[in-house]
Amino acid sequence: MTAARMDHAGRRDRLRAAAGEQGLDAVLVTNLLNVRYLTGFTGSNGALLVRTGGADLFGTDGRYTTQAGTQVPDVELLVDRGTVGALTAAAAGVGRLGFESHDVTVDGLRALERVLEGSATELVGVRRAVEGLRAVKDDDEVDALRRACTVADQALAELAAEGALRPGRTELAVGRELDARMLSLGAESPSFETIVATGANSAIPHHRPDTTELRDGDFLKLDFGATVDGYHSDMTRTLVLGHAADWQREVYALVQASQAAGRDALAVGAEVTAIDAASRDVIVAAGHGEHFTHGLGHGVGLEIHEAPGISALGAGRLAAGMAVTVEPGVYLPGHGGVRIEDTLVVTTDEPELLTLTSKELLVL
């Protein structure tokens, strides 16, 4: 259950307005995270019918009648084991019914068509309309993201202070300890499978922690986050154990400069491709372009990866309220790699930095 009461009615009204502009009479929302975003419902079966000219209808099955009453008190409830079919039947007769074409399977679409057979209703794919709304966070969401980032910051600070990041320990042990600490600090779960990569493994962008032991003089790359009230944080820090060699200081300083350039480029109206370029150009100019092998960042929210994508392949511009990561990396195969990642919120002023752990090279 969510602690804070978010403005779900306001979000449904934004979807209603967008649907009206597209000439739709109703939208059937089946993606569970989108249903959660629009209603607050956290169960495993739920769907929502948003009507442009009438009252909305929330559907679930009998297991969730009580939970729906608590979490979705402001939408009329329909309880039926065939939730989506029942909601669709309720919509039969409207002219144009939007559905989430990225979420409904081919079989699911046939089922919708069968329910609507004989009615004049036309099905219209709305693609990622709700995800588009979700890209811009409201104050309650930013607050949840802030708390998620604080948990991750604190977990790392505590582990570092306790000497848990020391030679002889395995990546797996460090990862499990980081996860456990985030949970004890209030996370519902880690945001994703925590990445702990040391030595040559740090050159693998998404290395899975294994029994490799931390060694003196190695990089230690940690990419992790906490989920709080359904919202994810995402942070990467790379540190060095024992003492840092010159090549490690050089690579680190390069990624640090690139990351700062990426953060500086986060402005309302900025093209996502330009933000990626601002950060990437620093690495390319140093001759390491081929060692930065992924996009610069991504949106974060109810999902760890959501709109907007910030990469050379992306499209669109930033808007105030978008929560995004900036995470350049330089990976030298066989040697080691550095990534530095923050989660930030775009504002009309400076972006708000949510992951507050220092980005100076930490030698533990």
Which C-beta is closer to Zn ion: that of 179 or that of 234?
Answer: 234
C-alpha pair distances (Å), 121 with each of 51, 78, 95, 301: 14, 20, 5, 34
Written as six digits, the tokens of 217 are 């003089």
* C-alpha–C-alpha distance, residues 40 and 82, integer Å: 21
* C-alpha–C-alpha distance, residues 273 and 302, integer Å: 24
Under the criterion CB under 5 A, does residue 153 sit at the interface with Zn ion? no
The DSSP call for residue 242 is S
Q: What angle do CA 22, 27, 32 make, to 5 degrees?
A: 130
Q: How far is the CB of 187 from Zn ion (least distance, A)?
A: 15
Please count the other Cβ atoms lying within 10 Å of the Cβ belonging to residue 106. 7
Q: By CB under 5 A, which span of 8-16, 17-25, 124-132, 221-229 interacts with Zn ion?
A: 221-229
Which C-beta is closer to Zn ion: that of 11 or that of 207?
Answer: 207
Q: How far is the CB of 234 from Zn ion (least distance, A)?
A: 4
Which C-beta is closer to Zn ion: that of 30 or that of 236?
Answer: 236
Q: By CB under 5 A, which span of 175-183, 214-222, 258-266, 339-347 interacts with Zn ion?
A: 339-347
Under the criterion CB under 5 A, does residue 233 sit at the interface with Zn ion? no
Q: Residue 330: beta bridge partners?
A: 338
Under the criterion CB under 5 A, does residue 234 sit at the interface with Zn ion? yes
Q: Closest Cα partner for 189 from 225, 146, 164, 237?
A: 225
Cβ(140)–Cβ(166) under 8 Å? no
Under the criterion CB under 5 A, does residue 103 sit at the interface with Zn ion? no
Which C-beta is closer to Zn ion: that of 25 or that of 223?
Answer: 223
Under the criterion CB under 5 A, does residue 276 sit at the interface with Zn ion? no
Under the criterion CB under 5 A, does residue 223 sit at the interface with Zn ion? yes
- 3-state helix, strand and coil shares in percent for the chain, rounded to the nearest 5: 35, 25, 40
Which C-beta is closer to Zn ion: that of 100 or that of 234?
Answer: 234
Q: How far is the CB of 32 from Zn ion (least distance, A)?
A: 22
Q: By CB under 5 A, which span of 34-42, 72-80, 161-169, 230-238 interacts with Zn ion?
A: 230-238
Buried b (16+ CB within 10 A) or exposed e, 331-342: bbeeebbbbbbb
Q: How far is the CB of 318 from Zn ion (least distance, A)?
A: 16
Q: Residue 310: beta bridge partners?
A: 297
Which C-beta is closer to Zn ion: that of 86 or that of 235?
Answer: 235
Which C-beta is closer to Zn ion: that of 276 or that of 341?
Answer: 341
Under the criterion CB under 5 A, does residue 325 sit at the interface with Zn ion? yes
Q: How far is the CB of 162 from Zn ion (least distance, A)?
A: 23
Which C-beta is closer to Zn ion: that of 25 or that of 327?
Answer: 327
Cβ(347)–Cβ(229) under 8 Å? no
Query: Which residue do the tokens 């966070």 mark?
Result: 137
Residue 128, classed as helix, strand or coil, is: coil
Q: By CB under 5 A, which span of 121-129, 253-261, 333-341, 347-355 interacts with Zn ion?
A: 333-341
Q: How far is the CB of 150 from Zn ion (least distance, A)?
A: 16
**Interface residue list for Zn ion (CB under 5 A):** 223, 234, 236, 325, 341
